[in-house]
Copies of this chain bind each other. A is one copy, B any other.
Amino acid sequence: MIDDLERAIEAMLFASDTPLDARQVAGRLGDEMTPGEIRTIIQTIAARHAGSGIELVERGGHWHFQTPADLAHLLRRERDDPRKLSRAAAEVLAIVAYHEPVSRAEIEAIRGVQTSKGTLDVLMEAEWIAPAGRREVPGRPLIYKTTDAFLQHFGLTSRKDLPGIDDLRAAGLLDPVDLAFEEAMGELDLVKDGEEA
């Protein structure tokens, strides 16, 4: 027998057209429940559905039901056509996700090429990136970050789930070139060896 509160939260998450976080669930229950208590119940529900044809997943602190990825071949239909991204848009999205918050100039420094206005627009229209204020440097450029919709679309529980982000950070590949340059000066000999080989 599933208890009433668990049923209620399950129905809410099932009926909602957007993923819900614990606070939203608590607010709608109008009950004296803490978000922590709600989360415990949500995890019970998720566990109950584990291994079934419907799973409850967490994306950026928000939960929603979806089908398991291994059943994609049965469910994929002609009309399912997730937004095709240009290579430029895919790269810009990756740079925003791995470096956020990041300005357009910083994106361009990594890509070595100007970013057309349309590229950022496509990503903002998809609601995968959003402006996140301004960088307090001369010119006060707009900076961008990824959204919860980004996490949801790409099946990420949080930004920590970004593929390989820990390795990239450890290798210093998320540091600006200037910083990496200072650190790498000692390795110059290696480079020269490579050239001579």
Contacts and interface: CB of A to CB of B under 8 A. Distances in A.
Copies of this chain held together in the complex: 2
A29 interface: yes
A87 interface: no
Contact of A71 (B8, B48, B77): B8
Contacts of A29: 74
Contact of A75 (B11, B45, B48, B54): B11
A15 interface: yes
Contact of A7 (B2, B7, B15, B53): B53
Contacts of A161: none
A68 B68 CA distance: 23
A164 interface: no
A181 B15 CA distance: 51
A50 to B, nearest CB: 10
